[in-house]
Every structure is written in structure tokens, then in C-alpha cells.
């Protein structure tokens, strides 16, 4: 296991925080000063026999990646960049629901860090982007993303790697991202400072995400979305909104919820219902 970066006292406490919370995910916790991509570290770990629940976290990534082949950039030491190895011997069809509940776990952790008055403003944009509604009624800004990668063994899933990037302490965003991205620190500032909220602590946010994931993941992998479906609906950023597919595919219509297989439902203008299994949707201006 690599050492903890000096100068990151919040993360030095991470293993102790996880143990105190009785979290079974996060053991072992491997913390690197710099890596290529924590998803690659987790996949390498999976191939070398690392156990269910192992987590790789880095203060910076040289080739961090997001969904749809995008890069994931994050200044060193400011945010949370980590990947969780889940050894779920489930059917491949259960990977999309697992990916959705990973987004929910991140949403809940971000909402907790922003405090109760912001709870309704923290939403999940299908499949698992975590977004925040501006406190002054502004548009949605992305605060966290989830990249799920899995490997099969025969007809079963051998492992799932859940890679998570959360903008925590960053206050300066590149010009091209400033209008569409945000961080927990920026949102706290915009909502009138930290007030009575505890100081931001990345170890606590990591523990919140892992506890949320632990609560849902086995059940969803083996029994389906079930009770998590109502929570997905409650925090669905797209529900009732005009949407269109990005890139390939030409789905346009009104987002009408998520089905039990984790597909986005889109009602076309002609009344037909499309079940979108993959890809990305954007909000369409009326
Ligand atoms: C997205 O929104 O497109 C997904 C972003 C996922 C980024 C995280 S950071 C930790 C892990 N390692 C990676 O290379 N990507 C994920």
C-alpha cells in the first residue's frame, strides 16, 4: 500500500474515519500522490486478486478519464478522485442499475456536504452525473461524475470498478468549464458561506459515498433497483424536461423517468416511449 501524501491531513484520517463508521468498503484504501487513472489502478488490482471493497484514491491523475472518452481534469490535492472495486457475481444486465445507485450515493454525499437547505438542488442527471441547481434559480452545474467499467467472466460479472470524481475544494475552474461546472466549496460560498456547517473534510465525504454505496449495491446487483428506484425518481434532474441525445442517436422528447433496468424513458412528440440504454442526453431549450 502506498503512503499518504503529506499535507493532506483530511485524507490521512480516511481509513480511521471509515473504520469508525463501520464501513466495509474502503479496505484496503490505497492513496497515491499521483497516478495515471484510479480506474486503471482498480482494474489492475482486480486482476491481481484485490478484494471486494478495495479503493484506490489519488491526489492527481495524469490521464484521468470521464464518460464518452472525455478527460477528467482536477488540480492536485483539491478534490476527490477514487475508484472502488466491487466483486459482484451478478448478471451483466445489473451493471447499469449499479451505476445509477453509485450516482445516488455521490449525490447524497454532496447534498450532505452542502447542508439541508441545498438538498433539493442536488440532482442526478441520467445516468450518473451529479449536478447542482444554482441557488439563485440558475441552471444546472456538474459537481461530480461517475465512470463505471466492468469485466465479465462467462455469463457473470467478474468485477465492477466505480470511478468517482467529486469537485470538493476547487474554487478556480478553467474558463470553458466555469459556466457548466462547480464544486462543493463554490456552492457553499454561493449559498452564504459555511454558516453552521462543519469544515469541508474529504475523508468524511469519501466515507459518506462509500457508506451509501454499501447500503445499496449488493441488493441492486442481485435483486434490481427496487426501493432505490423511488430515490432515483426523487432526484432525477431530467424528469419532465425536454431532452435530446448527444452524439449518435436521434432521441428527442420529454424525459419520463427511469425504468427498472436503469434505462431512461423518453416520450417522443408522437407519443411513443423510447427506452434509452446508453449514451448521454442533454436538456433541450424549448
Ligand atoms: C464523467 O462524468 O464523465 C465521469 C468522471 C469520472 C472521473 C473519475 S476520477 C476517478 C476515476 N478515475 C478516472 O480516470 N476517472 C474516474
Quick one: which atom of ligand 1 is closest to the CA of 142?
A: 2
pLDDT digit string (tens) for 109-119? Answer: 999 999 999 99
Nearest residue by C-alpha to atom 14 in ligand 1: 64
pLDDT category of residue 183 using cuts at 50, 70 and 90:
very high
Cis peptide before 112 (omega within 30 of 0): no
Atom of ligand 1 nearest to the CA of 144: 2
Confirm if 119 and 187 have CB atoms less than 8 A apart: no
pLDDT tens-digit series, residues 126-135: 999 999 998 7
Band the pLDDT of 192: cuts 50, 70, 90: confident
For the CA of 61, the closest atom of ligand 1 is 14
Mutate to test the pocket of ligand 1, among 55, 163, 205, 278 (most ligand atoms within 8 A of CB): 163
Q: How far is CA 74 from CA 54, 60, 169, 212, in A?
A: 22, 7, 10, 24
CA geometry: angle at 197 spanning 213 and 106, to 5°? Answer: 20
* Ligand 1 atom nearest residue 129's Cα: 2
What rounded mean pLDDT belongs to the chain? 93
Distance 66 CA to ligand 1 centre (A): 4
Question: What local confidence, expressed as pLDDT, does residue 5 receive?
Answer: 47
CA of 65 to the centre of ligand 1 (A): 5
pTM for the full predicted model: 0.95
Point out the ligand 1 atom lying closest to the alpha carbon of residue 72.
7
Distance CA(161)–CA(150), nearest Å, equals 6
pLDDT, one tens digit per residue, over 212-266 is: 999 999 999 999 999 899 999 999 999 999 999 998 778 999 999 999 999 999 9
User: Residues with beta carbon inside 6 Å of ligand 1?
Assistant: 37-39, 61, 64-67, 70, 72, 81-83, 129, 145-147, 163-165
Q: According to the model, what pLDDT value does residue 55 have? A: 98
Query: What's the CA-to-centroid distance between 181 and ligand 1, angstroms?
Result: 14
Instruction: Kindly indicate the confidence band of residue 7, based on its pLDDT and cuts at 50, 70 and 90.
Output: low
For residue 124, pLDDT beyond 60: yes
**For residue 122, what is its C-alpha cell?**
442536488
- Three-state SS for the chain is CCCCCCCCHHHHCHHHHHHHCCCCCCCCEEEECCECCHHHHHHHHHHCCCCCCCEEEECCECCCECHHHCECCCCCCCCEEEEEEECCCCCHHHHHHHHHHHHHHHHHHHHHHHCHHHHHHEEEECCCEEEEECCCCCCEEEEEEEEEEEEEECCEEEEEEEEEEECCCCCCCCCCCCCCECCHHHHHHHCCCCCCCCCCCHHHHHHHHHHHHHHHHHHHHHHCCCCHHHHHHHCECCCCCEEEECCCCCCEEEEEEECCCCCEEEECCCCCEEEECCCCEEECCC
User: Rounded to the nearest whole angstrom, what is the distance from the C-alpha of residue 16 to the centroid of ligand 1?
Assistant: 25
pLDDT band at 286 (very low <50, low <70, confident <90, very high): low
Q: What is the per-residue pLDDT for 102?
A: 98
Ligand 1 centroid to residue 7 C-alpha, Å = 23
Name the closest-CA residue to atom 9, ligand 1: 165
Residue 3 predicted with pLDDT over 50: no
Ligand 1: residue of 66, 82, 181, 246 to mutate (most ligand atoms within 8 A of CB) is 66
Amino acid at each position: 500500500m502506498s503512503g499518504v501524501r503529506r499535507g493532506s491531513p483530511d485524507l490521512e484520517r480516511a481509513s480511521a474515519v471509515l473504520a469508525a463508521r463501520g464501513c466495509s468498503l474502503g479496505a484496503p484504501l490505497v492513496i497515491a500522490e499521483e497516478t495515471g487513472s484510479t480506474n486503471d489502478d482498480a482494474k489492475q488490482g482486480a486482476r491481481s486478486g484485490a478484494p471486494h471493497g478495495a479503493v484506490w484514491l489519488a491526489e492527481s491523475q495524469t490521464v484521468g478519464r470521464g464518460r464518452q472518452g472525455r478527460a477528467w481534469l482536477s488540480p492536485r490535492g483539491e478534490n476527490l478522485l477514487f475508484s472502488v472495486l466491487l466483486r459482484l457475481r451478478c448478471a451483466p444486465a445489473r451493471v447499469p442499475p449499479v451505476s445509477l445507485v453509485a450516482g445516488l450515493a455521490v449525490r447524497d454525499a454532496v447534498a450532505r456536504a452542502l447542508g439541508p437547505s441545498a438538498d433539493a438542488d442536488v440532482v442526478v442527471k441520467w445516468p450518473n452525473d451529479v449536478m447542482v441547481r444554482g441557488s439563485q434559480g440558475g441552471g444546472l452545474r456538474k459537481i461530480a461524475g461517475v465512470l463505471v467499467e466492468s469485466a465479465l467472466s462467462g455469463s457473470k460479472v467478474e468485477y465492477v470498478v466505480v470511478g468517482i470524481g467529486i469537485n470538493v475544494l476547487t474554487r478556480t475552474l478553467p474558463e470553458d468549464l466555469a459556466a457548466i461546472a462547480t464544486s462543493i466549496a463554490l456552492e457553499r460560498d454561493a449559498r452564504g458561506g459555511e454558516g453552521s456547517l462543519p469544515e469541508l473534510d474529504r475523508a468524511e465525504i469519501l466515507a459518506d459515498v462509500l457508506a451509501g454505496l454499501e447500503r445499496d449495491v449488493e441488493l441492486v446487483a442481485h435483486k434490481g433497483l427496487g426501493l432505490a428506484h423511488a430515490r432515483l425518481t426523487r432526484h432525477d434532474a431530467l424528469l419532465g424536461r425536454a431532452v435530446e441525445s448527444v452524439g449518435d442517436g436521434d432521441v428527442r422528447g420529454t424525459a419520463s423517468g427511469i425504468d427498472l433496468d436503469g434505462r431512461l424513458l423518453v416520450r417522443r412528440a408522437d407519443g411513443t416511449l423510447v427506452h434509452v440504454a446508453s449514451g448521454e442526453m442533454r436538456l433541450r431549450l424549448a
